[in-house]
Amino acid sequence: MLISGVAAFLLLATPVHGKMPGIPKETTGATKGIVAVSHPAAAQVGKDILQQGGNAVDAAAGIQLALAVVEPQMSGIGGGGFMMIYLKDKQKITVIDSREMAPRKADPKMFLDAAGKPVPFEQRHTNGKAVGVPGTLLGVETALKQYGTKKLAEIIDPAIELAETGVTVNWITAKHIKDSEDKLKKHKTAGEVFAPGGKPLEEGALLVQPDLAKTLKLIKEKGPDALYRGEIGAALVKEVQRTGGAMTLEDLKHYVVKEREPVRDTFRGYEVVSMGPPSSGGLTLLQILKLMEGYDNKQDGPLSAAYLHRLIEANHLAYADRAAYMADEDFYPVPKKGLIDKEYINERRKLIQPDRVNTDVKAGDPWQYEGKKAVQALSLTDVTPVKQTTHFSVMDKWGNLVSYTTTIEDVFGSGIMVPGYGFMLNNELTDFDAAPGGVNQVEPGKRPRSSMTPTIVLKDGQPFMAVGSPGGSTIIASVSQTILNVLEHEMPIQEAILSPRIFSSTYPIVSWEDGIEQDVVLKLMGMGHVFREQPENIGNVQAVIYDLENGKMYGGADNTREGTVLGVDAVAFSWAEPAAPKAAEKGAFVVQVNGHPYPFTANQLLLWNGEPYVQADKLLLGLNARQASFSADEIKRDGRLFLPVKRVAEALGYTVTWKAREAVVSLQKP
Ligand code: GLU
């Protein structure tokens, strides 16, 4: 009796580990709150606020203001964002939408040149016309008033101090300054702050921002009115007009923060709650997850060709609908139900073939699934480059969560800094279609379509995870893959974040992160996908996760910045700069298919009697040719078999040209 009594007690007292996905086994979790942020100084501000009894919204407000100082290239009071909040006591999820608005003088043709062609992004985004009326400051204050426990004036002090005493420039900020040098110098003021005397600040330099400190003090004293109705706003409008924009003080006065209902659906017994219009993020994310739910992904594994093929195809389908139907729903209705209707998703899933890329993906007709008449969708391809802003996640000791993606659009936004006030202005209006005619065309007072996807995942109505990423349209891919890695592949959160991601919104180009095996890439290329020549970083995910069984909190951060997770009572880490991947050795020649090079390594290529050969198994994989009918052509070198590219490809129906002088074998398939 006694023994079994002790055993029963032990069973009750010992936390049961490992039943919830995403929970790291080796780490002791926090119980008093946790933050996951892309910069350690801002993470510290959030942790301090939690420690001093603030709730998740207070901490999020403090983190945002601190990020505006320590990561000024990514977000700030000159930008906008979506703060998603889970309120434990009300069991409610809401979003504070502080997305930028188009000024009243904006019009659908404002990004066309004299010939009626869209001005290229590179020119259009550094002009005052690209600046949307900013919402972040009013958004932060609204969130605090509605759901926080502290006042803006109490939360802002650490940001003022960081601006006044300075922050050490880290490796990633130094890189961003260097990469943006021309843009920063274009309008002078920002150049003087980030490249004083014309020299970009380097890693280790102290970034002191007295003008920004002055601005934050004014806000502490006068509240957001200092910007929306006061001297900061007057200076802002003057600079926007000087650089080609038409924003006025009236536009600032009429800025409105909106509280929004998120969009939601289930995935494998979890509820995924994400950002609805004016973001395309949530609906596209839910479409991808629901399309993927129809497969046994776990069995194939997260880095298998079969899984990645389906994932790419699911992305193509979802992004096609995104381009056609998603925009600011205060201007155009969005088929929010139809897009994630079960029947509709099942129909769309039928367009995914198991071993061949679909070269002709079009938007579907989700309106039919809402009982509305079929609509001819106008699809515009999203061609703006990948951006990077910032995402952070917070959980407090009461179980409230914040998932906040916040932006000034491009790195350093428009490059325009408000003279004398020290903060960067966004270029968010470039998120509108540059050409008129679609649901996302520029219109006065409208919010540009976003991809930001702050997300909260619930299990049985309880908080489980807060996750999000920057990265422009790649955001949705990063968030969906992190969620799939946790819920489908059962990776602990940190591994789920670091696991290599892919991004492909339209056929055929696929961006990919280092770590996907060459054979997998070749196999996918054999199915018709085109992998970019070099891997690249995609997104920057910060997440917090909660073990409902033992009441512990954990976090994950990305290593492409100084991502930091700080728990109030346990968990503390920051990422150092990752080692740069070694440049691949150049081979004797390049093999291209329809102009796209294959990722063969130097030792897989061989020139024999002036003819190009490729290691047999790799060539056959990349050309999706399984037959052994080429054995007569094989030659053996260093114990490996090689095949002549020209003969094999021609036998498979390609037209082949071998340009010996340029060392390029070019394969064309009609
Ligand atoms: N402007 C982008 C969007 O709203 C955000 C850029 C980013 O977060 O990287 O989709």
Distance CA 69, CA 111 (A): 31
Q: Are residues 406 and 536 in the same domain?
A: yes
Q: Identify whether 448 is part of a domain.
A: yes
Residue from 179, 178, 198 nearest 188 by CA: 198
Strand partners, 546: 553
Q: How far is the CA of 16 from the centre of ligand 1 (A)?
A: 39
Compute the distance from residue 157 Cα to the ligand 1 centre, in Å.
Answer: 28
Q: For residue 386, which atom of ligand 1 is closest to its CA? A: 9
Cβ atoms of residues 401 and 466 within 8 Å: yes
Measure 281 CA to ligand 1 centroid, in angstroms: 10
Q: Which atom number of ligand 1 is nearest to the Cα of residue 474? A: 9
Residue nearest to atom 3 of ligand 1 (CA): 450
Is residue 542 domain-shared with residue 626, that is, in the same domain?
no
Which residues form ligand 1's pocket by a CB distance below 6 Å? 387-389, 405, 407, 409, 428, 431, 450-452, 470-472, 475
**How many helices (H) and strands (E) in the chain?**
23, 27
Q: Which three-class secondary structure state does DSSP give residue 597?
A: strand
Contact (Cβ atoms closer than 8 angstroms) between residue 399 and residue 461 = no
> How far apart are the CA of 608 and the centre of ligand 1, in A?
50
Question: pLDDT band at residue 382, thresholds of 50, 70 and 90?
Answer: low
Residues written for the chain:
670
Q: Whose CA is nearest to atom 8 of ligand 1?
A: 470
In the chain, % of residues over pLDDT 90: 89
Q: pLDDT higher for 518 or 10?
A: 518
| Cα(526)–Cα(418) distance, integer angstroms | 51
Claim to verify: residue 551 and residue 410 sit in the same structural domain: yes
Q: Which residue has the higher pLDDT, 152 or 377?
A: 152
- Those residues whose C-beta lies under 8 Å from the C-beta of residue 188, and which sit 6 or more positions away, are none
Do 596 and 488 have their domain in common? no
- Tell me the catalytic residues: 389
pLDDT at 15: 40
Mutation probe of ligand 1 site: the residue of 405, 406, 505, 538 with most atoms within 8 A of C-beta: 405
Q: Which of 412, 451, 538 to mutate to test the pocket of ligand 1 (most atoms within 8 A of CB)?
A: 451
State which ligand 1 atom lies nearest to the alpha carbon of 473: 10
| C-alpha closest to that of 56 among 553, 496, 563, 575 | 553
What are the DSSP calls for 264-317, one per residue?
Answer: EEEETTEEEEE--TTBSHHHHHHHHHHHHTTS-HHHH-TT-HHHHHHHHHHHHH
Are residues 232 and 137 both part of a single domain? yes
Domain co-membership, 661 together with 516: no
Query: What ligand 1 atom has the least distance to the C-alpha of 405?
Result: 8
Work out which ligand 1 atom sits closest to the CA atom of 390: 8
- Do 144 and 18 share a structural domain? yes
Count of domains for the chain: 2
Read off the pLDDT of each residue in 185-205 and give the average, rounded to a whole number. Answer: 97
Interval between CA 338 and ligand 1 midpoint (Å): 25
**Atom nearest to 469 CA in ligand 1:** 8
Select from 452, 453, 474 the residue to mutate for testing ligand 1; criterion: most ligand atoms less than 8 Å from CB.
452
Q: Which of 530, 550, 575 is the last residue of a domain?
A: 575
Residue 336 lies in a domain: no
At 630 the pLDDT is 85
- pLDDT of residue 69 exceeding 60: yes
Q: Last residue of some domain: 543, 575, 607?
A: 575
Ligand 1 midpoint to CA 189 (Å): 24
The pLDDT of residue 10: 34
pLDDT one-digit tens code per residue, 127-167: 999 999 999 999 999 999 999 999 999 999 999 999 999 99
Cβ pair 542, 550 in contact under 8 A: no
CATH number at residue 570: 3.60.20.40
CA end-to-end span of the chain: 79
Minimum CA distance residue for ligand 1 atom 2: 472
| Residue given tokens 């609509």 in the structure block | 375
How many CB atoms are located within 10 Å of the residue 152 CB? 20
Report how far apart, in Å, the C-alpha atoms of 566 and of each of 38, 137, 173, 235, 572 are.
11, 25, 21, 37, 5
- Cα–Cα distance measured from residue 614 to residue 554, given in angstroms and rounded to the nearest whole number: 47
* Structure tokens belonging to residue 453: 């996807």
Question: Lowest-pLDDT range, 122-126, 401-405, 510-514, 628-632?
Answer: 628-632
Query: Same structural domain for residues 45 and 96?
Result: yes
Beta strands 635-637 and 552-557, pairing class: unpaired
Residue-level pLDDT at 9: 33
Q: Give nearest CA residue, ligand 1 atom 5.
A: 472
**Alpha-carbon span 165 to 201, nearest angstrom:** 16
Domain annotation covers residue 584 = no
Distance 428 CA to ligand 1 centre (A): 8
Determine how β-strand 502-503 pairs with β-strand 462-468: unpaired
Signed CA dihedral, 10, 13, 15, 19: sign only: positive
Q: Which residues pair with 34 in a beta bridge?
A: 395, 567
Rounded distance, CA 91 to CA 357, Å?
A: 42
Q: What is the pLDDT of residue 383?
A: 55
**354: which DSSP letter?**
S
On the question of pLDDT at 41 being above 60, the answer is yes
In a domain? residue 343: no
The answer to whether residue 10 is domain-embedded is yes
Indicate if 392 and 453 belong to the same structural domain.
yes
325 in a structural domain: no
Which of 328, 407, 476 best tests ligand 1's pocket when mutated (most atoms within 8 Å of CB)?
Answer: 407
Looking at every residue in the chain, the average pLDDT score rounds to 94
What spacing in Å lies between the alpha carbon of 237 and ligand 1's midpoint? 23
CA of 475 to the centre of ligand 1 (A): 8
> What gap in Å lies between CA 421 and CA 240, rounded to an integer?
13
Q: Do 49 and 23 reside in the same domain of the chain?
A: yes
- Mutation to probe ligand 1, out of 322, 409, 424, 476 (largest number of atoms < 8 A from CB): 409
Check: CB of residue 222 under 8 Å from CB of residue 431.
no
Q: What is the mean pLDDT of residues 310-329?
A: 96
Q: Is residue 296 part of a domain?
A: no
Residue nearest to atom 1 of ligand 1 (CA): 409
**Tokens, residue 296:** 């046994």
C-alpha–C-alpha distance, residues 527 and 522, integer Å: 9
Which range marks the domain in which residue 439 is found? 2-166+208-259+384-575
Q: Which residue is it, tokens 């198994």? A: 617
> Do both 594 and 643 map to the same domain?
yes
DSSP 10: H
Check residue 14 and give its pLDDT. Answer: 38
On whether residue 450 sits in a domain, the answer given is yes
Position 93 pLDDT exceeds 80? yes
For 41-47, the CB contacts below 8 A with 24+ separation are 41/66, 41/70, 41/162, 41/167, 42/66, 42/67, 42/70, 42/71, 42/392, 43/392, 43/564, 43/565, 43/566, 43/574, 44/566, 45/158, 45/159, 45/162, 46/392, 46/394, 46/566, 47/566, 47/567, 47/568
| C-alpha 200 chain-centroid distance | 27
pLDDT band (50, 70, 90) for residue 568: very high
Last residue of a domain, one of 546, 575, 604: 575
Which atom of ligand 1 is nearest to 280's Cα?
A: 10
**What DSSP character marks residue 100?**
-
- Could you tell me the pLDDT band of residue 376, with boundaries at 50, 70 and 90? low
Q: Give the pLDDT confidence of 276-310 residue by residue, as tens digits.
A: 999 999 999 999 999 999 999 999 999 999 999 99
Residue with the two structure tokens 């070019």:
666
* pLDDT tops 70 at residue 255: yes
Buried b (16+ CB within 10 A) or exposed e, 302-318: bebbbbbbbbbbbbbbb
- Chain centre to alpha carbon of residue 433: 19
Q: Note whether 561 and 621 are same-domain residues.
A: no
Ramachandran assignment for 490, one of left (phi > 0), alpha (psi -120 to 50 degrees), beta (any other): left
Look at residues 99, 150, 108, 115 and name the one whose alpha carbon lies nearest to residue 129: 108
